[in-house]
Amino acid sequence: DAQIDFPPGFNVAEHFIDRHLDDGRGSKVAIRSNRGQVTYSELAIRVNRAAHALSAMGLGRGDRVLMVLKDSPDFFYLFWGAIKAGIVPVPVNTLLRRKDYAYMIDNSECSVLAYSAEYGTEVEAALSIATHAPATLLKFDGTAEARLFETGAETFKAVPASATDECFWLYSSGSTGRPKAAVHLHRDMVVTSEFYGVRTLGITVDDVFFSAAKLFFAYGLGNGMTFPLWVGGTAVLLEERPTPHSTFDIIERFRPSLYFGVPTLYASQLQVIDEIRPDLSSIRLCVSAGEALPADIFRRWQERTGTVILDGIGSTEALHIFISNREGKLKPGSSGTLVPGYEAMILDDNDQKVKDGEIGRLIIKGDSTAKYYWRDPEKTAATMMGEWLNTGDSYYRDEDGYFYYCGRSDDMLKVGGIWCSPFEIEATLVEHPAVLEVAVVGRSDPEGLVKPEAWIVLAGEATPDKSLEDDLQSHCKARMAPYKFPRTFHFVDELPKTATGKIQRFRLRLDAQ
């Protein structure tokens, strides 16, 4: 039941792109956005041109293309063009800052760095900090795209690959230290599209997909690109930041049948839904992932829209959702039941399986999981345990097979569905002259969504007031991805510590409730 056949020479780009021409879908719209539309045959031609262009730059099997690109058809062309030519695309978060990009340039030793002009300031500054110099820079400001995708041969013979060849990377942040690149294989996107997309969500050729989560997240990559391309559906793209207004606007204009969001966005959409009264009648299903969806948000959304939100847990390492609620088979507040093709175990501290109802560490197994972390054997060993993958999450399972999220086993926070390391926020805050010592913990807001909270011991003369808080927040926003700033502050005389001087974050978390 849970098997997929991969023909020999399998280059996954042929399945996601070229197959649609053979199936007579060439004139169907593959991608729609405020800037226009792209048919499946236009998509296939531009993918081929990208494959030629990258090959002509001297790139070959296994070389990396780092992509700091907004959600646009160009993202599709470059990603699939690279894969078709045996080259490894590495899409990265576009909200990061120069030192993050400098790290990724050095760590990936990318041959090509492609970036949307909007991100030029941080990306170009990163190039001057980085040790490695990518041989080719592609700044997408209109000219590079015209050269890459609008000229040259329209056909390209796919470089043969096998299902277990390396295909693309996605960076994932860790609680301490630097992000690590999860190396995904050719089969992985097929496995997620088939097991979660087709067999769990029931996606078909008639579906129109809109993902508020961006393509550079594994979640958005599946929702907004691989799932539509797997079934020959249509992807709707939003270039800008997803807000309640921009997302409702896109839904009304392009009438998607499937809508993918994160809990924070659903919560902020609910705040304005009575005032905007958007027409959401095209939507047959909504999906949430990235962090747990509070049952209250599920209920309020269903009450206002008549549509259920299917919460499911996925990860960058698993590529997409492996435990999910379904239509007609859901429990609000839970992550749902196993997706076909995946197995799960919940283990105690002695690596023994716990009984239903008991909390333990969730480990999973499935054919879409990343093979290893690039150049990080220690983190690879801690996470990829043979065929099993350590999620780092605490879970329990009820007697009906539904899984319930109970928190992380590290200190990492999910804010708006995106990773946030408390240690990174602390390191940034102590650079501020007013801060002597700081500890950052997660605090649930009234909607049940976690936000970073800073506990600060001030240096010298600094006064704990609103203007200092504003100043600390802008200090953070200038140095880190903008979602990482603390939303609340506590100024204290000292931080709780152990006898050996380690900050006791659990005591702050208790105080924070």
Helix axes 466-479, 422-429, angle to 10 degrees: 110
Cβ–Cβ < 8 Å for 370, 377: no
Of residues 321 through 360, those in contact with ligand 3UK by CB under 6 A are 321, 335
391 touches ligand 3UK by CB under 6 A? yes
3-state secondary structure 268-301: HHHHHHHHHCCCCCCCCEEEECCCCCCHHHHHHH
Which is closer to ligand 3UK, CB of 218 or CB of 229? 218
CA distances from 408 to 175, 362, 419, 476 (A): 11, 10, 12, 24
Closest CA to 257 of 226, 230, 281, 292: 281
Size of the site for ligand 3UK (CB under 6 A): 23
Which is closer to ligand 3UK, CB of 354 or CB of 406? 406
159 touches ligand 3UK by CB under 6 A? no
Task: Specify the pairing of strand 418-420 against strand 413-415.
Answer: antiparallel
Cβ–Cβ < 8 Å for 89, 168: yes
Tokens (6 digits) for 456: 């600060």
148 touches ligand 3UK by CB under 6 A? no
Of residues 189 through 218, those in contact with ligand 3UK by CB under 6 A are 218
Q: Which of 291, 367, 376, 453 binds ligand 3UK (CB under 6 A)?
A: 291
Which is closer to ligand 3UK, CB of 73 or CB of 312? 312
Supply the minimum distance, in Å, between the C-beta of residue 73 and ligand 3UK. 22
Helix axes 263-276, 244-254, angle to 10 degrees: 70
Alpha carbons 31 and 232: distance in angstroms, whole number: 11
Alpha carbons 289 and 230: distance in angstroms, whole number: 20
Cβ–Cβ < 8 Å for 25, 232: yes
383 touches ligand 3UK by CB under 6 A? no
414 touches ligand 3UK by CB under 6 A? yes
419 touches ligand 3UK by CB under 6 A? yes
Task: Specify the pairing of strand 285-288 against strand 309-314.
Answer: parallel
Helix (H/G/I), strand (E/B), else coil: 195: helix
Q: Which of 197, 341, 392, 442 binds ligand 3UK (CB under 6 A)?
A: 392
Q: Which of 286, 292, 346, 425 binds ligand 3UK (CB under 6 A)?
A: 292
| Alpha helices (runs of H) in 313-421, residue ranges in sequence order | 377-383
Helix (H/G/I), strand (E/B), else coil: 392: strand
Cβ–Cβ < 8 Å for 89, 137: no
Which is closer to ligand 3UK, CB of 49 or CB of 320? 320
290 touches ligand 3UK by CB under 6 A? yes
Which is closer to ligand 3UK, CB of 11 or CB of 335? 335
- 307-311: long-range contacts, CB 8 A cutoff, minimum separation 24: 307/280, 307/283, 309/261, 309/266, 310/201, 310/285, 310/286, 310/336, 311/287, 311/335, 311/336
Supply the minimum distance, in Å, between the C-beta of residue 292 and ligand 3UK. 4
Which is closer to ligand 3UK, CB of 410 or CB of 465? 410
Segment near ligand 3UK (CB under 6 A); pick from 123-131, 232-240, 306-314, 460-468: 306-314
Residue number of the CB atom closest to ligand 3UK: 314
Segment near ligand 3UK (CB under 6 A); pick from 56-64, 148-156, 391-399, 495-503: 391-399
Cα 143 to its chain centre, rounded Å, is: 29
Supply the minimum distance, in Å, between the C-beta of residue 390 and ligand 3UK. 10
393 touches ligand 3UK by CB under 6 A? yes
For 343, phi and psi rounded to 5 degrees? -125, 155
Segment near ligand 3UK (CB under 6 A); pick from 20-28, 38-46, 137-145, 389-397: 389-397
Helix (H/G/I), strand (E/B), else coil: 128: helix
Supply the minimum distance, in Å, between the C-beta of residue 406 and ligand 3UK. 9
Segment near ligand 3UK (CB under 6 A); pick from 115-123, 245-253, 298-306, 315-323: 315-323
Segment near ligand 3UK (CB under 6 A); pick from 10-18, 66-74, 117-125, 390-398: 390-398
264 touches ligand 3UK by CB under 6 A? no
Supply the minimum distance, in Å, between the C-beta of residue 344 and ligand 3UK. 12
311 touches ligand 3UK by CB under 6 A? yes
Which is closer to ligand 3UK, CB of 134 or CB of 392? 392
Cβ–Cβ < 8 Å for 309, 298: yes
219 touches ligand 3UK by CB under 6 A? yes
408 touches ligand 3UK by CB under 6 A? yes
Helix (H/G/I), strand (E/B), else coil: 456: strand
- Which residues here bind ligand 3UK, judged by CB under 6 A? 172, 218-219, 289-292, 311-316, 320-321, 335, 391-393, 405, 408, 414, 419
